[in-house]
Amino acid sequence: MPTGLRYLLACYFDVSDVSFALLSLDSNNIEFFNFPYTYSSEAFSNQTNEAGFNKEVIDAFIKSKKIKTPDLEVIAVGFMEIPPIDLETKVSLKLVSLIKEMKGNYPFVVNDFSVLTGDAILSYERCLGKSQNMDGGEGDELANLSIYPQLIPTDIPIITGLDKCITEKVNTLELGYSPRQKLTFSGSRFSRPVIYEYLDWILAFDLVRKPGIYEILLDRKNTIPLFGLISKYRPEITLDPKPYLESLGTLINSPGDTECLLTSDVGTSQFFEVKKDNFYVLPMLPEAGYSLAIKNHIIGNLKEVVTGGRVGLVVNTSSGSIFDNVRVFNDCVRQLSLCTPRY
C-alpha cells in the first residue's frame, strides 16, 4: 500500500445513477453513497463531455468528505462499458466482465432497460412505441426516460410496463443458478429512491423462472458490483455484503398445485395448499427457524429449512410471468402491499 494512502473509493456507474463505496484502509470502515444522475448528452453536452462530468461527480464527492487526493485511490466499473473519467483510476472495468468472476450468491443486475447476470445480457429497445401498447402520454414518458435516464418513473403503468419488458427477455431462458441458491438483485432499478416497494419485489420474484427454492436478497446499495470491484483490485481485502443486503425471505417457485407443511422451531405446524396460477404470501420473521415440507409435481417432494424476511415465505405457482396474468398480478399487489405499512 502506498505511503500515506488512507482511502479506497469504488465507483459503480449504472445507467441512471452512480453508487460509491468509501473504504477506510485504517479502520476497514465502509460508507455507501448514491448520486442519482449519470451523464446525458442531451442535458449536459453544452457544458461538458461524459469524462468531464464523471470527474466532476467524483471530485464533488471527495470534497464533501474532506479527503485529500494523495490519501485516496479511485477504482471504477461501468454497467456495459468502462466509464470515461478525466482523472487517474487504478482500475476501470466493465461489469459485464467482472460479474462472470463473482462467486457465491447468483447476481442479477437490473436497470429500467436491461438485466445482466453471469450468463446473459438481456435488454430491449427503449422506445418501442405501439408494440408496448402504450398511449401517447405513456409513450412520451418512455421517450423522456430514454433521453434523460436519471428520471424515475412514478406512474404504476409505466413502471410495470418497463418491468414486464425486462422479465419477458428472461422468459424460459436457462440461467445458471441452482434450484436452491441465494439470488441477489442489484442495479439502478433497486438502488434508486423507493416509490412503490412492492413493485420492486414483484420484479425480483418474476425474474426467477426456474422451479426451486430461493432466498431473495435486494442490494439497495449496489454492494455486489462495488465489492466485486474492490476484490478484483485488492484481493487481500475481504468484504462481506450480507449485512448490507435486504432479505425478502424465501421464494418457492413451483408451477402447478403445491402442498406445504411449515413447522416452526418450537414445533408448531401449519398446512396450506396453493392451487396452480396463484401467488401466496405467508409472513415469517427473519430470525425464526422453519422447516418446510413441499409436494409439487415439478419440484417433487422436498423438505427444506427456510428463512423469513421483509416479505416472508412466498409461493408462486404460475407457469408464466406474473405480469401476464392480471388476476395474479393484482393478487400480488394486494398481498405485498400489506407488507409495506406506508401504503
Number of continuous H segments (helices) and E segments (strands) in the chain: 9, 17
Q: Which helix (H) or strand (E) holds 274?
A: strand 269-274
What are the start and end residues of each CATH 3.30.420.300 domain in the chain? 7-94
Sign of CA dihedral 313, 318, 320, 321: negative
Q: Which residues contact 211 (CB under 8 A, 6 or more apart)?
A: 179, 253, 254, 255, 296, 298, 299
CB 274 within 8 A of CB 315: yes
User: In this predicted structure, what is the pLDDT of residue 135?
Assistant: 54
CB atoms within 10 A of CB 237: 13
Round to whole Å and give the CA distance between 245 and 240: 10
Round to whole Å and give the CA distance between 275 and 270: 17
Whole-structure pTM value: 0.91
Round to whole Å and give the CA distance between 46 and 43: 8
Residues of the chain with pLDDT under 70: 1-4, 124-140, 340-343
- The radius of gyration of the chain's CA atoms, rounded to the nearest angstrom, is 21
Q: Which CATH number is 7-94 given?
A: 3.30.420.300
Q: How many CA atoms lie within 13 A of 184 on its CB side?
A: 25
Q: Give, in degrees to the nearest 5, the angle at Cα 182 between 150 and 237.
A: 75
For residue 162, what is its C-alpha cell? 418497463
**β-strands 246-253, 312-316: how paired?**
parallel
The closest alpha carbon to 35, from 3, 13, 67, belongs to 13
**β-strands 182-186, 212-218: how paired?**
parallel
Round to whole Å and give the CA distance between 301 and 299: 7
The closest alpha carbon to 199, from 162, 239, 243, belongs to 162
